[in-house]
Amino acid sequence: MVEALAEARAEVSLERLGALIRRATELRSNFEALAGAIRAKYSSDARISSLVGNVIKALEPQEVSRDRLADISSRLESYVENLERSVKLLTEYAVLLDRLEEGLKRLEREGAELAAWSELLKAAAPHLAAEAAKLAAAAQRLLSQRLFEEGDLRRVVDEVELALREARSHARVCRTAYSNRVNELLSQASQVLKALRKAGGAVQLEEAGRVRALEDRLSGLVARLSEALQRPLEVKLDLAAARAELSQIEEEAAALVERALSGEGEVVAREVERLARSLEGRPLTLSLLLETLSRRTGIPMDALARQLVMLEKRGFLTVHVKLSV
C-alpha cells in the first residue's frame, strides 16, 4: 500500500514536472522568437538597436543550473513565472518600440516643417518664428543618439509623443497666421484692382497703357499670393516684399485716379467710398447723402450733386435711386 502511494506521488510529480518543462520550452521559444523579430526589425536603426539589445538582455531569465536539479520542480515553476512575466513585458516593449519608431518618423517631418515656418515667418511674425525655431531645436535633440542611450523606453516614447503634439499644434498656428496675412494682402489687392478698373475708364489715352501694366503686375502678385495660400512652405513667398510691392502698385493707382479726376472729384470719390463702407449697404435719403458729404468735404450741395453725376458717368461709383411718395 505504501509502495503504491509513493508510486502515485512519483507519477503526479513527474507529470507536473513534464508539464512545467513543456511550458518552459514553449515560453522560451516564444521569447526567443519575439526577441529575434524585434532585433531584426530595428537592426538598421542605430538609435533604437542598442536600446533593443539592452531591453532583451535585461528581460532574459537565467537558466536553471544542472547541479541543483534536486529541487527542479520548484525552480521550474519560478522559471515559468519569470518567462511569463518576460514575454508579457517584451510584448509591451514591442508596442512601445512601434510607437517610438512611428513617433520619430513623424517628429522628424514636423521638426523640418517648423524650421521652414521659422524662416518664413521671421519678418511677418517674429514671435511665432522664434517659437517654431525653439520647438524645431527641441525635436532635433530628441532625435539624437544620446537620448536613446540614456533614457528609459517609456519616458522616451512619452517625450517624443509630447514633442510631436507640440510641434503639430504650433505648425497649425503658424499656418493660420500666415494664411491670415496672405488673405489680408489679397483683400487689399482686390480693392486696388477695383480702383485701377475705375481709373481705366477715366484716364487719358496716353495713360491707359500704364493702367494695363499696373493691372498685369497686380494680377501676377495675386497669382503668387493665391499659390502661397495653398502651398506656403513650397512657394515660400516673402510677405514683406509682397506687401511692399502691393503698396507701390496702390500708390501708383491712387496717383492715376487723382490725375483722372479734378481736385474736388477726387475728394468726393474718397468720401463716398468711406461713407459706403460705414453704411454697409443701408440706404439713406438723397438730401442726407448730400448733407453728409457737404459737411465732410466743405463742398456746396449743388456742386456735390454735379460731382456725383460726373463720377457715376465715369465709372467711379454707382448711385442707386429708390423713389417713394
Q: What is the arithmetic mean of pLDDT over 177-181?
A: 94
Q: Which candidate, 136, 114, 17, places its Cα nearest to that of 74?
A: 17
> Is 280 buried (19+), middle (13-18) or exposed (0-12) by CB count in 10 A?
exposed
Amino acid at the residue 308:
L
Q: Which candidate, 20, 128, 116, 124, places its Cα nearest to that of 76?
A: 20
pLDDT tens sequence across 311-323: 777 667 777 767 6
pLDDT of residue 73: 65
pLDDT tens sequence across 80-107: 788 899 899 899 989 998 999 999 999 9
Contact 249, 221 (CB under 8 A): yes
The DSSP code sequence of 197-246 is HHHHTTS-HHHHHHHHHHHHHHHHHHHHHHHHHH-HHHH---HHHHHHHH
Could you tell me the three cell numbers for 103?
A: 513617433
Contacts for 89-93: CB closer than 8 Å, 24+ residues apart: 89/59, 90/31, 90/34, 90/35, 90/38, 90/55, 90/56, 90/59, 91/34, 93/38, 93/55, 93/59, 93/153
**pLDDT bucket at 7, cuts 50 / 70 / 90:** very low
The span from the CA of 97 to the CA of 49, in Å, is 10
Tell me which of 324 and 295 has the higher pLDDT. 295
Domain boundaries, the chain: 15-104, 107-176, 261-325
pLDDT of residue 136: 94
pLDDT of residue 170: 96
pLDDT of residue 68: 58
**pLDDT bucket at 64, cuts 50 / 70 / 90:** low
3-class DSSP state of 285: coil
Neighbours of 319 (CB within 10 A): 11
pLDDT at 281 over 60: yes
pLDDT at 203 over 80: no
pLDDT at 146 over 70: no
Contacts for 48-52: CB closer than 8 Å, 24+ residues apart: 48/97, 48/100, 48/101, 48/148, 50/148, 50/149, 51/148, 51/149, 51/153, 52/97
**pLDDT bucket at 285, cuts 50 / 70 / 90:** confident
Tell me which of 164 and 60 has the higher pLDDT. 164
Could you tell me the three cell numbers for 30?
A: 516564444
Q: Provide the 8-state DSSP code for 70.
A: G
The structural architecture, per CATH, of the domain 261-325 is: Orthogonal Bundle (1.10)
CA angle 98, 101, 105 (to 5 degrees): 140
- Residues counted in the chain: 325
pLDDT of residue 144: 79
Question: CA 154, 155, 156, 162: dihedral to nearest 10 degrees?
Answer: 110
pLDDT of residue 5: 39
Give the range among 101-110, 134-143, 252-261 with minimum mean pLDDT. 252-261
